[in-house]
Amino acid sequence: MTPTGIADGQPHLHAPASSARVREATLRDRFVANGAVGSIAIFFALVCLLFGLTTDAFLSTPNLLNIVRQSAPLLIVAASMTFVITTGGIDLSVGSVLALVCALSATLLQSGLPWPLVIVAMLALGALVGAVQGFFIAYEGIPAFIVTLAGLSVIRGVALLITGGYSIPIEPGSFFITMGRGWLLGVPIPAWIALAALLVAYLVFNATRFGRYVTGIGANKEAVRRAGVDVRRTLIAVYILSSTAAALAGIVLAGRLGSGSSNSGQGFELEVIAAVVLGGTSLFGGRGTMIGTILGALTVAVIANGLILSHMSPFLTPIITGTIILVAIWLNFRLFRGASRGR
């Protein structure tokens, strides 16, 4: 008897069923890869629809432009945090770096230093902070949570020491203010800065060898090391990128506020991490999505803005925001787990 008609040249009797299983597996793989982004996109649309229907001003052009301007620092840092979390790490110091740059920028401008030099110096400072923290994480093997938690405290303390707890004003006529309040082609300049940062981050994450190394380190660090990649140098680069982005966000925020304060960025790191995880990047590393991060950051910004327009009590706002984000991430994880089991 010829098994399934192979020996006599007949087509395999199970071929159609096998092809169907292959197609089903391919669809599942695509669903797993894109499900997180799709779910946050739907959630973002529903949140916008909800606030659009319940408030009069939410969908107005001035308010939408205001959301984009206010979310610029969050978008900038969330893009860099995607690299960090995809490696399986965390950076809790970004809010403190932002505060230090805000305070130091105002201090240097007040002392008469030209604004271009201030910007370059602040970006260099951010890179230095990232390099120091990255060294302890990559070369000394100290967990990123511990290193950046210490950085959060030390850097915030330096900012408090510089300002004495007071807000330092920036000269209104300085071009530095334009980076936070200016407009270009009818769009706030902070939005253009955030867009440029996001485009660079997207290209690096998705179309470069460095981006592949970042994902590989989060998925299987030892395998990447055995493949000849300098894992420690890559990790340092990731933390330099994170702190430099936080410094850029601090420059934008100082320009928008017109002053530097050591109290800036309180809880900012939690908003950034929430935006990245909400967008579908795995906290355990090995899976990240820049598109999801953008949607996650915009969702966080829209929720905050919509609750204000709804005249919600400021004491209830963080409770509601946190609950909404938790439920959205929970549903996202359930969706991803269910799809993974189906594989």
Q: Report helix, strand or coil for 188.
A: strand
Contact 272, 78 (CB under 8 A): yes
pLDDT in tens, 117-142: 999 999 999 999 999 999 999 999 99
Contact 281, 219 (CB under 8 A): no
pLDDT in tens, 187-231: 999 999 999 999 999 999 999 999 999 999 988 888 888 888 889
- Mean pLDDT over 70-94 rounds to 94
Contact 276, 78 (CB under 8 A): yes
Percent of the chain with pLDDT over 70: 85
- End-to-end CA, the chain: 35
Bridge partners (DSSP) listed for residue 260: 168
Structure tokens at 120: 């370059």
Contact 274, 296 (CB under 8 A): yes
Lowest mean pLDDT among 13-27, 30-44, 81-95, 171-185: 13-27
Helix (H) / strand (E) containing 184: strand 183-184
pLDDT in tens, 247-256: 999 999 999 9
Structure tokens at 55: 């408030």
Lowest mean pLDDT among 234-243, 263-272, 312-321: 312-321
At 286, give phi and psi (nearest 5°).
90, -10
Among 191, 188, 210, residue whose Cα is nearest residue 199: 191
What is the predicted pLDDT for the residue at 30? 52
CB-count burial class (<10 Å; 0-12, 13-18, 19+) for 64: middle
Ranges of H-type helices in 55-174: 61-86, 94-110, 115-138, 144-163
Bridge partners (DSSP) listed for residue 206: none
Among 182, 206, 167, 155, residue whose Cα is nearest residue 256: 182
What number of CA atoms fall less than 13 Å from residue 171's CA on the CB side?
A: 13
Structural domains in the chain plus CATH codes = 38-336 (1.10.3470)
- Mean pLDDT over 134-151 rounds to 94
- Mean pLDDT over 302-327 rounds to 80
Question: What's the longest Cα–Cα distance across the chain?
Answer: 94
- Mean pLDDT over 326-333 rounds to 70
What is the sign, positive or negative, of the torsion defined by CA atoms of 110, 113, 119, 121? negative
pLDDT in tens, 12-37: 444 454 455 545 544 454 555 566 77
Most confident of 183-187, 231-235, 329-333: 231-235
Give the pLDDT band of residue 314 (cuts 50, 70, 90): confident
Name the average pLDDT for the chain: 84
- For 97-118, give one letter per residue: b (16+ CB within 10 A) or e: bbbbbbbbbbbbbeeeeebeeb
Of 37 and 79, the one with more pLDDT: 79
- Is residue 298 over pLDDT 90? yes
Contact 332, 41 (CB under 8 A): no
Q: What is the DSSP string of 264-302?
A: TTTTHHHHHHHHHHHTT--TTSS---HHHHHHHHHHHHH
